[in-house]
Structure 1
Amino acid sequence: MQNNFISTPNTPSAALPTKRVGRFYLSERIGMGSNGAVYRGHDPVIDRDVAIKIFSAGNNAADKKQREQQFINEARAAGRLSHPNIVTIFDASSEGGTAFIAMEFLQGKDLRHLLAEGKQFDIIETTNLIQKVAEALAYAHANGVIHRDIKPANIFVLPNQHPKVVDFGIARAPNRVLDETREQAHTLFNNNILGTPNYMSPEQANGKQVNALTDVYSLGTVMYEMLTGQKPFQSQDVDKLLQQIVSKVAKYPSEVRPSIPDSLSKIVMKAMQKDPAARYESAAELSLALEKFLERDKKLKRKRQKQGDESSNYRDDEDKQPSSWLSWLAVAFAVAGVAAYFMHRF
């Protein structure tokens, strides 16, 4: 079965919690989100398929409240954004004790599953995809939304390699409902609530306040993994992993794979600088750097193609020269023959 938003390959069939929420009809479960299961639904008014994320409560009252806040926050944060590389929210409501978000139905798989399946993106595919995500984040930041959990699982890839940023559950937005005091107390050092270890920025790992540049760092780690086939920092021990993120400098991607251009390797490392002030000033600046790399690559390919064509033409001319010399020799022999004939005759 085709995997869809938010996809979990080989998701076992499960009984539907209800056949309908709001005006939407449910047909099958297609995956799991951070705060609930996702179902394939249908909007009878507009006659289109949608993905319906239904909120699932935690095990205790405090956990339930936090999950509910994150659920509402996801709807509010993503709902204020309209960008081709960000999942579109159609509706959000709570009816009959069931809270849900209706969003666009996406064909494809998230980047986490693609990488786990051994999918290898070439340098240009990787740069194109990350550039589009950086552009989407620049748009989100301009609208006051910081994602704060950029990772492969939250980058959905359509069959045409078009990415969509998903899951704004812990995003920081102007209209969010999360309790700031409680949120600061629950960093990754406690319950791994605010982010995913391997892709967290150093400031996140330290439990500090973050700004939009935390998304720039996290996107840099995703690009690092796509290019090299490995995460920049790895450890089974969470505390050791966090210490690496805070203090250790990763190898340049070009050191891991020499085929990666140094110019692209430098872009990744600048995005992943420990000090936010040393990174790109914004996701927009990162997007521009990637655009310039892609443009230089295109120019280089055109130049090589042109040189190849000119070389081919030169070889063609050389191939033609022997027949030209033969023609001149034939004429010379003919003239010499005529001259010899007249000299012999007279």
Structure 2
Amino acid sequence: MLAKVLEEPERGEFFARREDEAHSLVNLLQAILDYASLSPSLKRRFTSALIRLSSKSGRFPDCMVLEEVTRLGEDPVAAGSFGEVWKGSFYSEVIAMKVLKVYERSNVKELLKRFSAEIIIWRQLSHPNLIPFYGVYYLNASKTRICLISPWMQNGNVVQYLRREPDIERSYLMLDIARGLEYLHSGKPGIVHGDLKGENILITSSRRACLTDFGLASARDSELIMSSSTPNARVTGTLRWQAPELLNYEAENTRSTFASDVYSFGCVGYEIYSGEIPFHEVKSDYYVMQSVTRGARPPRPPLSLCQTRGLDDTLWAILQSCWLKDAAARPTAEYLVSRLRAMPRNAEEKTTPAAHGWDRLTRSRLSHSLVDHPLSCSAKVVQEWKQLSLFEDWEA
């Protein structure tokens, strides 16, 4: 059985496949995840295997490739180290197009390996407090310009939103963020975000907060994935939001963890209530790194600001617990959700559904835009891999 193969992640012939062979395998794995009735343990194995094979081969399933996408405007609306964000349209919905940066054709393969894990991970997620992933679109026929498609958030990120709406109830947003983080961490396998900050939290049309930008995300399951899908995750997260253990560059095999995500959550809380980035008074990132490793943490905002924005002693204590030097002593995302839900300011929120801020019909239209549905070739794929003796006991 295929499941038997996946129980042995070190089996070289499975994860060493490349090019068309790897492409066929990721198609099959995604088809099984989408349409097979799997036990939680099997689903975990298939998901982990798909992430690992995709990140090694730079291949992702055909069902994620979209057509009927149009780029709008003459200029990008944002840019970062990864590339540019453009506004676009997909059928009748306005979308965000995250165009990945590549300067030479030779870089495309490595770029795909870096972002294939993000693509695969994002595709498996579904939660009201996570921005959904629509698919991948190629900007040119040679497939050297790649972009990731998701809904367009007109309200922008939480930092921009709070500048325009300073009187909004901020505890709702904190609870939304904690819920999104809880969903990531509680999955099978659990997902470490790795780059949680205000710029990576978008606000829907229904004024709810959603996590996005899983460029540093990695699936964590000690039995199935032993290495991060992004090996340099510990050095590429935004420094001022990073936990002290990630700033120790002399330590070996330091990676983002659930606990470092919780530390970043505390820094996001500081952003939301202070209106400033952590250690905004310090210009040098190097001095911030030195200060954090020595125990410095963001100071509480002025009393007048705390009273206006609802940062009471209880909530400030929660944020401080996220910054404990001992990573094991920090609260879990689940605990953060329970504490935030219990706060009087969030009493009304308990009866308010975390409504989606995007067109739910769009995801149902995706099947009409697929370049090639994986199940259309599954039988052929199984026969091909039977010949390679990988699925000796597989029954199509």
Bin for the TM-score computed over the shorter chain: 0.5 to 0.7
Distance 2:295 2:277 in 1: 13
Distance 2:277 2:147 in 1: 34
* 1:108 corresponds to which of 155, 159, 176: 155
* 1:24 corresponds to which of 39, 51, 69: 69
Matched-pair identity in %: 23
SS in 2 for 1:253: coil
* 2:115 corresponds to which of 71, 75, 79: 71
Distance 2:313 2:269 in 1: 14
**CA shift at 1:106, angstroms?**
2.0
Matched to 2:216, the amino acid is I
Please, which runs of 5 or more residues in structure 2 have no aligned partner? 1-65, 349-396
SS in 2 for 1:83: coil
- Give yes or no for the alignment of 1:53 onto 2:98: yes
For the 8 Å contact 1:108–1:156, the answer to whether it is kept is: yes
Cα 1:197–1:73 change in 2 (3 A) is: same
**CA shift at 1:221, angstroms?**
0.6
**CA shift at 1:272, angstroms?**
1.6
Partner residue in 1 for 2:48: none
Cα 1:212–1:119 change in 2 (3 A) is: same
SS in 1 for 2:218: coil
Cα 1:99–1:268 change in 2 (3 A) is: same
Partner residue in 2 for 1:161: 207
Larger radius of gyration: 1
* 2:340 corresponds to which of 255, 269, 290: 290
- Give yes or no for the alignment of 1:183 onto 2:234: no
Matched to 1:104, the amino acid is P
Instruction: Count residues in correspondence.
Output: 266
Cα 1:80–1:241 change in 2 (3 A) is: same
Cα 1:284–1:209 change in 2 (3 A) is: same
- Give yes or no for the alignment of 1:233 onto 2:279: yes
For the 8 Å contact 1:51–1:102, the answer to whether it is kept is: yes
For the 8 Å contact 2:117–2:229, the answer to whether it is kept is: no
Matched to 2:271, the amino acid is E
Cα 1:66–1:262 change in 2 (3 A) is: farther
Matched to 1:35, the amino acid is F
Partner residue in 2 for 1:323: none
* 1:84 corresponds to which of 95, 105, 128: 128
The TM-score with structure 1 as length reference comes to 0.66
Partner residue in 1 for 2:317: 266
Distance 1:181 1:76 in 2: 11
1:1-25 per-position Cα deviation (integer Å, ceiling 9, x unaligned): xxxxxxxxxxxxxxxxxxxx73312
Please, which runs of 5 or more residues in structure 1 have no aligned partner? 1-20, 189-193, 299-346
SS in 2 for 1:88: coil
* 2:185 corresponds to which of 141, 144, 164: 141
Cα 1:41–1:139 change in 2 (3 A) is: same
For the 8 Å contact 2:273–2:306, the answer to whether it is kept is: no
Partner residue in 2 for 1:211: 257
